[in-house]
Amino acid sequence: MSDPALKAVAQPQSGRPDGEVVGAHGLGKTYAEGRMRTPVFDGLDLSVAAGETVAILGASGAGKSTLLHLLGGLDTPSAGEVYVAGQRMSALSDADRGRLRNRALGFVYQFHHLLPEFTALENVMLPVLLSGADGTDAAARARGLLEGVGLGHRMEHKPGELSGGERQRAAVARALVNRPACVLGDEPTGNLDEKTAATVFELMLELNRAERTSLVLVTHDRSLARRLDRVLELHEGRLREIDPASA
């Protein structure tokens, strides 16, 4: 990829832009082990608007998953701030951060992480129940999403009884069950064959449009990345915007 195809991502130097659902401002992350310090990024900026879809590309080890963990409040930055739904993550207690994650964010990983002892329906219901909602409401929302992802006939099956594509579709439904402001996806189709991956990706885009949920997707698949609103590359600790046509 040639340098002319890249340009710095223009982001505000302070404050939060209107309509931002997830943002990283001046973000830094350094890992320390003994006297050794390994910087991952320094001064990274990212702003994701409501309903926007963003792909993040980058070489293995560039820090893509680390960035997603920081955006999701699963890790703590060494510098800078992460905002989710207008809330500064560093200002929240662990309990409040967990509640915000459950309410405002959905997560889809390369591996589905469904609980093996629960049915597909119970797995999708779980985030709603954790938010304190009534069980009847949780079941209704979960059933609707499972039907929407083509698993209406598989709701009572446990993960071990589902195919890989079915498990990942259930994971997508679980990510959306609380109507989050943003879904963070870490190679969500990376463990699937090409046909199934295309089906799951198409489903994520359809649900993004239907639910008006933002999507930040880490992927190595440039053909999928080109279908999102923006394509960014994590390179030497900074995000650079790429023309989707050249990705």
Indicate which CATH number applies to the domain containing 198: 3.40.50.300
Average pLDDT over residues 73-82: 91
- Confidence grade of residue 129 (pLDDT, cut at 50, 70, 90): confident
Per-residue pLDDT, averaged over 30-37, amounts to: 82
117 in any annotated domain: yes
Give a yes or no: residue 45 inside a domain.
no
Take residue 242 and report the two structure tokens written for it.
Answer: 């790429």
Is the model's pLDDT at 69 over the cut of 70? Answer: yes
Q: Do the domain assignments include residue 131?
A: yes
Distance CA 32, CA 147 (A): 46
Please tell me the predicted confidence (pLDDT) of residue 42. 84
Q: Is residue 158 part of a domain?
A: yes
The average pLDDT across 66-92 equals 91
Does residue 31 belong to any structural domain of this protein? Answer: no
Instruction: Tell me, yes or no, whether 22 lies in a domain.
Output: no
Supply the pTM of this predicted model.
0.81
pLDDT tens per residue, range 162-216: 998 899 889 888 988 888 899 999 888 777 778 777 887 887 888 788 878 899 9
Domain count, the chain: 1
Give the per-residue pLDDT at 18.
56
As a whole number, the mean pLDDT across the chain is: 83
- Would 222 be classed as within a structural domain? yes
Q: Annotate 66-99 with b (16+ C-beta within 10 A) or e (fewer).
A: bbbbbbbbeeebbebebbbeeeebeebeeeebee
At 41, the pLDDT band (50, 70, 90 cuts) reads: confident
Range of the domain at 232: 3-8+51-73+94-246
Q: Which pLDDT value is given to residue 68?
A: 92
Lowest mean pLDDT among 14-28, 78-92, 148-162, 169-183: 14-28
Q: Is residue 99 part of a domain?
A: yes
pLDDT reported for residue 58: 86
Collapsing DSSP states into helix, strand and coil, what is residue 15? Answer: coil
Taking CA atoms, 21 is separated from 14, 42, 82, 85, in Å, by 16, 22, 11, 5
